Structure 1
C-alpha cells in the first residue's frame, strides 16, 4: 500500500519540536509539513515558521481555508466560537486538512499523521480519524518525551521558542478564546488593531444574542479598562511570585524551563490543531 506521512505545524513549540525530532530521528520518512492558516495569526507565528523551514530544509505547506472566519461567523448567526462550540477549529483547521488528505485516501494511500501530544499530557486525546487508512501517531507520548524534553529539543536545535512566548503561551488566532486574561492584555498592548478587531466581532455577536464573550465572564471592553488591566496584571504578578517561590532547582537542569501561563493558570483543554 502506498504511504504518505504528514505533520501539522501550529506555530507553537510542541509541533515545531516534533518536526525537528522526526527529521533527526526518522530521516528515512518523507514527511510533508503543513500549516492551516486562518489569516488571523500573530506576526510572530509566520516568523517562527520561516525559521523552522530553514532548519527542516523543506517548505511548510500553507493550507488556506476556502472560506474565511467572517464567512463562518455569519453562517453561525454571528455567535462567537467558544470552548463549548469550537466551530472555528472545525471549519478553519480540520476541514482544510480533511480536504487536503482526501485525494490521497481516495487514491489508496495509507496516511500517517504525526501529532505532538507529549508524554505528560495524559488528559489530551488526538484527532479522531474518520477513515481507516488515516493513522494518527503520537511519537512524544510513545517515546516518553515531556515538556522538558520539548524545550531541550528546541534549545539544542538552535530554534528556541516562538517570540510570542514572552507574553503568550499558545499559538492560534489573535482572538483565540482560550487565551488567559493577561494574554488579552498582551494583545491589547502589542497589537491594538487586532484587539479592536476582536472587540468589533464581540460587539456584533452580542447584538445577535450570542451567549459568549471572548474572555469568560466579561467583555473585552470591560477587560480593557485601565483599572481592570492593573488588577489583571497584579494577579499575574502574584501568581508568578508564588510559582517562583515553590519551584525547586534541578541540579541536572541548572537553566530552569521558563515559566509559562500553563504553569500559572493550569493546562487548558485546547484545540490540538491550533495550539500544539
Structure 2
C-alpha cells in the first residue's frame, strides 16, 4: 500500500497556480501531474503546458481517451454536447482519469486528487469521488487563496498566463459550448481553421437533427456574418465598459496585470458556466 498524490492540469490559470502552490508549500509530496488531452485543445494550451513543466521540473502525463471526439459524437447520434448534456466532459475528461487511477486503487494505494477550487468559489464543487481509496483535496480553500491570490502565484513564480487569455477566458476544447459569442468571433480571427472545423461539426449535427448549436440561439454560419460580428463586438464593448466602471480600485494593485477576464462581462443571453475538470 502506498500514498499517491495526483493533480490535474486543465491548461487554465487556476490548476497551473495550484501546481505551483503545491510545489512551493509541499515540496515533500511526490505529486503526479496529468493532463487529459481531448485532441481538440488550443495550440496555446500545449505551449503553456511545456512552460509549466519547465517550472515544475517534471513531466505532466498526458491521458488520452481511448475514443476520440468524433467517435462519441457518432455514439450520441451526432448531437453536439451542451450545458444540458455534457457528454464531452464525461467521456473525454472524467473517464480517462478514472481509468488512470483505477490500477492504483486496485493495488491498494490511497490516492489524493488535488483540485483547484478557489476560496472565493463557494458555489463550485469539485470532482466527487465515489471510489474507495480516492479522496479529493481543495488546497486553495484551506489556504484561503482567491482569484487575486492565483494571479500573484503565477506572476511571482514567472510562469505567467496562457497566451489564449489575450483573447479568450477558457481552456478546454477549441469549440467549447461555454464560450461567449465574442470568443467565437476571436476564434475565427485567431484560428480560422479551428473555427471551420467547429462549423463543419455543427453542420453535421444539425443535419442529423441535433437540437443544439455551439452558440446559443444561432449557428456559427449565422454568427460569422459581418453584420452579426459587428453587433457582437459592439455589444461586448458596451458590457466591458459597464463592468470596468464597477470594479473597485485596489491601492495595492492599481494596474491589473492579468489579461482581462471576460468572464466578468457575460451577456444576458450567454449563461456563465463551466465544467470544473475542463476549465480550472
Q: Give the TM bin, normalised by the shorter chain.
A: over 0.9
Matches within 5 A, 1:62-211: 62-211=62-211
Deviations 1:178-208 (A, max 9, x none): 0000000011111111111111111111111
Cα deviations by residue, 1:249-271 (Å, 9 ceiling, x for unpaired): 21122222543111112883311
Q: 2:275 aligns with which of 268, 271, 274?
A: 271
Return the offset for 1:247: 2.2
Unaligned runs of 5+ in 1: none
Kept after mapping to 2: 8 A contact 1:124/1:269: no
Shift of 1:141: 1.3
1:208-259 per-residue CA deviation (whole Å, 9 max, x = no partner) reads 1111000011110110000000000001111111122222321122222543
1:78 partner SS: coil
1:7 paired with 2:11, answer: no
Indicate whether 1:249 and 2:253 are aligned.
Answer: no
SS of 1:121's equivalent in the other structure is coil
Work out whether residues 10 and 172 of structure 2, in 8 Å CA contact, stay in contact via their aligned partners in 1: yes
Q: Which residue of 2 aligns with 1:260?
A: 261
**Distance across 2 between alignment mates of 1:128 and 1:245:** 38
RMSD: 1.2
Judge conservation of contact 2:166–2:259 (CA < 8 Å) in 1.
no
Query: 1: CA distance between counterparts of 2:93 and 2:37?
Result: 8
Count of aligned pairs between the two proteins: 276
Aligned residue in 1 for 2:61: 61
Shift in Å at residue 132 of structure 1? 2.2
CA distance in 2, matches of 1:30, 1:224: 47
2:239 match: secondary structure: helix
Q: Match of 1:227?
A: 227
Tell whether the 8 Å contact from 1:6 to 1:113 is kept in structure 2 after alignment.
yes
* TM-score (norm: length of structure 1): 0.98
SS, match of residue 183 in structure 1: helix
Query: Secondary structure, in 3 states, of the residue corresponding to 2:35?
Result: strand
Do 2:165 and 2:261's aligned partners in 1 also have CA atoms closer than 8 Å? Answer: yes
> Which piece of structure 1 moves more, 232-241 or 10-19?
232-241
Distance in structure 1 (CA, Å) of the matches to 2:116 and 2:244: 27
Deviations along 1:38-87, one digit per CA (max 9) or x if unpaired, are 11100000000000000000100000111100000000000000010000
Tell whether the 8 Å contact from 1:15 to 1:115 is kept in structure 2 after alignment: yes
Equivalence for 1:42: 42
